[in-house]
């Protein structure tokens, strides 16, 4: 039931869960990501021992890859001694380095100097003192090659700087300047920051929803022309985020910064697997929700996105002999990932336009992968008409699972403990994909806890729930409250984190039957009569059940033997019917009684559940 929702908001990925320590490692930052950005953001030209040169980010034919457009050109002027290069200031205060830990450095480089170019790689604090013994890397030849080195820290600092300095003359080109702690979570290469991943894992989430949120809706309309016209700020597309990291794009993030995609779909799937959670990807529906209110009219683009979603399923679960399953295997995971759900769209504001697209995705996915649950959404719960309309569309179409989001006051959470008591048991199940009590005080967390007892009471309707957002970097906050906070070397959970952990690590695994009679808890627990106003036939219903409040199905008619053939499953106690005297053995009479709407309870309060066929009135 409980899981986490990871979105790259508040610098949750780069500088956060993604363990890369170098900011703007591929010199791709641009003003379109954020007006204050340039290719040199986080980098400073640096000279040593009288060295000279220029450092220029360039987007030209020398590029490392079509999707990794920009690199750094160093023009060197050190005929004798001296070194020239660049220094990276990392995220937040700097690069956090701990004595005794090992750090993996790598860089892609090429040089036109016939004798090659010697690079010096140094980790220093802001006073210029070494944090690790500097190491040398010899670059040879004018084709892109990856060079690696290991640095072992002998001093601790939370404000380290990484310098890459070149000796000699000529032109040396650098890209993907990278530094990772060796001990990432589960020691995965290109992995996660250990303390943050451990805090998420400690919640024992049942699922990980990713990568957004509004993030997935960014610019859903943009097409893709890698060779000539590279549109920045295109939508979050999973294919941009897989394969070797040096071939991945970076992109403007919905939340106003550059995202490297170093933490991409493979890493999300791997992380979910590592923490025993079900991965739940969200793909854009080509109707930009989150207040952007635009729907695509581009049929070809829509078809491509639908195909991309089928390809995503192949990437996660396809055999190694398939195109995308083969890519997954080449990245290190020949076994399939355990993908069972795919969500389409996020907080859609145009209900009819969204739903038309959703149905196209759903039909294609269900045709190719009937085992996959396609999750719809209901817009933001505060949207009133949109929310109601989307629920109606989802219900009418027999959608299995609908994503709901709300961020409200603590008073709202206390007053709405009964929210799901009245949800239609025959309708779609609820995925509460995002919720939080606004503000970050203990009272907010207690209100969330009180509300969560209502989720658990209604676990037959609320199938999944995740607090949001998950992570926030103290220096880059777009949204609060958040569950886990961090800077570059520390992290801590909020009181809401403790509430989530309490519930998530103490989930119920059985229902305790109750024999109590008396006032019922909510409108779905019916004392008095139960029945359908218009009786079911197999044309309109596929499954009708009479259920006791403890969830026990007493009688079931699945129409397999024709309407009215009730299967007694766990009938106990006695029935009484107004004006009659039926007993538990009178199952044949049950159909008549339900139709007439005049069963009353003996030992049980009963409820009636019926699963409607798609499209039935
Ligand atoms: O969780 C933060 C944002 O809230 C999500 O991106 C969006 O879905 C919602 O509006």
| pLDDT tens digits, one per residue of 231-264 | 445 788 999 999 999 999 898 888 889 999 999 9
The tokens for 46 are 């640096």
pTM, rounded to two decimals = 0.82
CB proximity list for 79: less than 8 A, separation 6 or greater: 168, 169
Are residues 215 and 264 in contact, defined by beta-carbon separation less than 8 angstroms? no
Run of H or E including 546: strand 541-547
Does pLDDT of 576 surpass 50? no
5 found inside a domain: no
Three-state DSSP state, 464: strand
DSSP 11-55: T-TBTTTB---STTTTS---TTT-TT--TTTTEEEEEETT--EEE
281 found inside a domain: yes
Residue 440: predicted pLDDT = 76
What pLDDT, in 10s, does the model give residues 392-425? 999 999 999 999 999 999 999 999 999 999 999 9
Are residues 215 and 254 in contact, defined by beta-carbon separation less than 8 angstroms? yes
> Is residue 384 left, alpha or beta, with left meaning phi > 0 and alpha meaning psi from -120 to 50?
left
d(CA 351, CA 83): 60
- Tell me the CA distances in angstroms from 272 to 164, 210, 283, 311, one per residue in order: 35, 10, 17, 19
Does pLDDT of 535 surpass 70? no
**Cβ of 212 below 6 Å from ligand 1:** yes
Among the ranges given (298-302, 339-343, 570-574), the one the predictor scored with the smallest mean pLDDT: 570-574
What pLDDT, in 10s, does the model give residues 138-169? 999 999 999 999 999 999 999 999 999 999 99
Q: Which atom of ligand 1 is nearest to the CA of 289?
A: 8
Mean pLDDT confidence for 567-588? 41
Let me know whether 458 and 426 are in one domain: yes
125 found inside a domain: yes
Let me know whether 261 and 404 are in one domain: yes
Asked which of 461, 479, 497 is the last residue of a domain, the reply is: 479
Run of H or E including 210: strand 207-210
**Cβ of 404 below 6 Å from ligand 1:** no
Strands 607-612 vs 541-547: parallel, antiparallel or unpaired = antiparallel
Let me know whether 304 and 167 are in one domain: no
Does pLDDT of 429 surpass 50? yes
Residue 265: predicted pLDDT = 98
Q: Which atom of ligand 1 is nearest to the CA of 347?
A: 8
Among the ranges given (163-167, 287-291, 458-462), the one the predictor scored with the smallest mean pLDDT: 287-291
Residue 530: predicted pLDDT = 40
What pLDDT, in 10s, does the model give residues 77-105? 999 889 999 999 999 889 999 999 999 99
Are residues 94 and 160 in contact, defined by beta-carbon separation less than 8 angstroms? yes
Residue 466: predicted pLDDT = 98
2 found inside a domain: no
Write the residue with the smallest CA distance to atom 7 of ligand 1: 213
d(CA 67, CA 241): 10
Let me know whether 267 and 133 are in one domain: no
Does pLDDT of 580 surpass 70? no
Let me know whether 160 and 206 are in one domain: no
Among residues 347, 353, 448, 463, which one is catalytic? 347
User: CB neighbours (10 Å) of residue 206?
Assistant: 18
CATH of the domain at 94: 2.60.120.260
CATH of the domain at 348: 3.20.20.80
Let me know whether 347 and 205 are in one domain: yes
Let me know whether 215 and 339 are in one domain: yes
> Is residue 488 left, alpha or beta, with left meaning phi > 0 and alpha meaning psi from -120 to 50?
alpha
Residue 226: predicted pLDDT = 44
* CA 403 to centroid of ligand 1, rounded, Å: 12
Asked which of 448, 479, 510 is the last residue of a domain, the reply is: 479
The tokens for 434 are 């995002």
Question: 548 pLDDT band (50/70/90 cuts)?
Answer: low
296 found inside a domain: yes
**Cβ of 479 below 6 Å from ligand 1:** yes
Does pLDDT of 596 surpass 50? no
Residue 615: predicted pLDDT = 52
Let me know whether 233 and 364 are in one domain: yes
Cα first-last separation, the chain: 30
Asked which of 123, 156, 181 is the last residue of a domain, the reply is: 181
Let me know whether 227 and 356 are in one domain: yes
597 phi, psi to nearest 5 deg: 70, 30
187 found inside a domain: no
Are residues 313 and 369 in contact, defined by beta-carbon separation less than 8 angstroms? yes
Are residues 526 and 605 in contact, defined by beta-carbon separation less than 8 angstroms? yes
Let me know whether 558 and 593 are in one domain: yes
Write the residue with the smallest CA distance to atom 6 of ligand 1: 213
Angle between helices 265-274 and 299-317 (to 10 degrees): 40
Are residues 337 and 279 in contact, defined by beta-carbon separation less than 8 angstroms? yes
Q: Which of 290, 466, 467 to mutate to test the pocket of ligand 1 (most atoms within 8 A of CB)?
A: 290
Does pLDDT of 444 surpass 50? yes
Are residues 5 and 468 in contact, defined by beta-carbon separation less than 8 angstroms? yes
**Cβ of 482 below 6 Å from ligand 1:** no
Mean pLDDT confidence for 539-568? 59
**Cβ of 209 below 6 Å from ligand 1:** no
Does pLDDT of 451 surpass 80? yes
Minimal CA–CA distance to 151: which of 98, 86, 92, 85? 98
Three-state DSSP state, 452: helix
Residue 32: predicted pLDDT = 77
Q: Which of 468, 470, 471 to mutate to test the pocket of ligand 1 (most atoms within 8 A of CB)?
A: 468
d(CA 463, CA 448): 17
Domain span including residue 117: 43-181
b/e 315-352 (16+ beta carbons within 10 angstroms → b)? bbbbeeeeebbbbbbebebeebbebebbbbbbbbbbbe
505 found inside a domain: no
Mean pLDDT confidence for 328-337? 98
302 phi, psi to nearest 5 deg: -60, -45
| Burial (CB count <10 Å: 0-12, 13-18, 19+), residue 597 | middle
Question: 199 pLDDT band (50/70/90 cuts)?
Answer: very high
Question: 174 pLDDT band (50/70/90 cuts)?
Answer: very high
Let me know whether 463 and 581 are in one domain: no
Residue 435: predicted pLDDT = 97
Let me know whether 262 and 127 are in one domain: no
How many structural domains does the chain have?
3
Residue 219: predicted pLDDT = 53
Is residue 448 among the annotated active site residues?
Answer: no
434 found inside a domain: yes
Summary mean pLDDT of the chain: 85
Question: 582 pLDDT band (50/70/90 cuts)?
Answer: very low
Write the residue with the smallest CA distance to atom 2 of ligand 1: 469
């Amino acid at each position: 039931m409980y899981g986490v929702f990871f979105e790259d908001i508040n610098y949750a990925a780069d500088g956060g869960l993604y363990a890369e320590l170098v900011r703007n490692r591929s010199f791709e930052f641009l003003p379109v990501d954020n007006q204050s950005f340039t290719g040199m953001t986080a980098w400073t030209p640096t000279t040593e021992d009288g060295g000279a040169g220029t450092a220029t980010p360039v987007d030209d034919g020398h590029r490392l890859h079509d999707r990794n457009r920009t690199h750094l050109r160093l023009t060197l002027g050190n005929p004798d001694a001296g070194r020239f290069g660049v220094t990276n200031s990392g995220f937040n205060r700097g690069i956090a380095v701990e004595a005794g830990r090992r750090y993996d450095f790598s860089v892609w480089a090429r040089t036109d100097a016939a004798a090659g170019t010697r690079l010096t790689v140094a980790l220093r604090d802001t006073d210029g003192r070494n944090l690790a013994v500097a190491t040398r890397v010899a670059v040879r030849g004018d084709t892109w090659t990856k060079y690696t080195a290991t640095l072992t820290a002998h001093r601790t600092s939370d404000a380290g700087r990484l310098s890459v300095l070149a000796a000699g003359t000529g032109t040396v080109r650098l890209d993907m300047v990278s530094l990772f702690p060796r001990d990432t979570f589960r020691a995965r290469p290109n992995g996660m920051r250990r303390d943050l991943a451990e805090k998420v894992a400690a919640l024992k989430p049942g699922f990980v929803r990713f990568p957004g949120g509004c993030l997935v809706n960014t610019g859903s309309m943009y097409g893709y022309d890698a060779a000539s016209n590279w549109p920045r700020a295109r939508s979050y597309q999973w294919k941009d985020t897989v394969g070797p990291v040096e071939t991945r794009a970076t992109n403007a993030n919905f939340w106003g910064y550059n995202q490297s995609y170093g933490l991409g779909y493979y890493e999300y799937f791997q992380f979910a697997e590592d923490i025993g959670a079900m991965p739940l990807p969200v793909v854009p529906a080509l109707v930009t929700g989150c207040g952007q209110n635009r729907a695509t009219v581009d049929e070809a683009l829509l078809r491509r996105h639908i195909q991309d979603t089928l390809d995503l399923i192949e990437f996660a679960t396809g055999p190694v002999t398939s195109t995308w399953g083969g890519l997954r295997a080449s990245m290190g995971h020949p076994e399939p990932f355990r993908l069972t759900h795919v969500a389409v769209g996020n907080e859609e504001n145009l209900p009819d336009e969204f739903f038309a697209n959703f149905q196209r995705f759903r039909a294609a996915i269900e045709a190719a992968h009937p085992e996959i649950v396609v999750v719809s959404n209901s817009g933001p719960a505060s949207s009133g008409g949109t929310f109601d309309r989307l629920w109606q569309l989802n219900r009418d179409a027999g959608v299995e699972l609908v994503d709901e989001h709300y961020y409200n006051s603590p008073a709202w959470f206390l007053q709405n403990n009964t929210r799901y008591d009245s949800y239609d048991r025959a309708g779609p199940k609820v995925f509460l994909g995002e919720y939080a009590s606004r503000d970050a005080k203990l009272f907010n967390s207690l209100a969330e806890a009180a509300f969560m007892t209502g989720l658990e009471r209604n676990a037959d309707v609320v199938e999944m729930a995740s607090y949001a957002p998950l992570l926030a970097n103290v220096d880059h906050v777009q949204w609060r409250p958040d569950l886990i906070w961090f800077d570059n070397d520390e992290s801590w959970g909020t009181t809401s984190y403790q509430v989530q952990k309490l519930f998530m690590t103490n989930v119920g695994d059985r229902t305790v039957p109750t024999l109590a009679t008396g006032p019922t808890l909510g409108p779905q627990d019916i004392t008095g009569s139960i029945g359908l106003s218009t009786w079911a036939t197999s044309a309109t219903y596929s499954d009708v059940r009479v259920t006791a409040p403890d969830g026990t199905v007493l009688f079931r008619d699945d129409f397999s033997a024709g309407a009215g053939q009730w299967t007694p499953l766990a009938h106990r106690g006695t029935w009484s019917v107004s004006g009659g005297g039926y007993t538990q053995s009178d199952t044949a009479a049950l159909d008549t009684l339900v139709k007439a709407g005049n069963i009353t309870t003996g030992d049980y309060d009963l409820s009636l559940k019926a699963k409607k066929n798609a499209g039935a009135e």
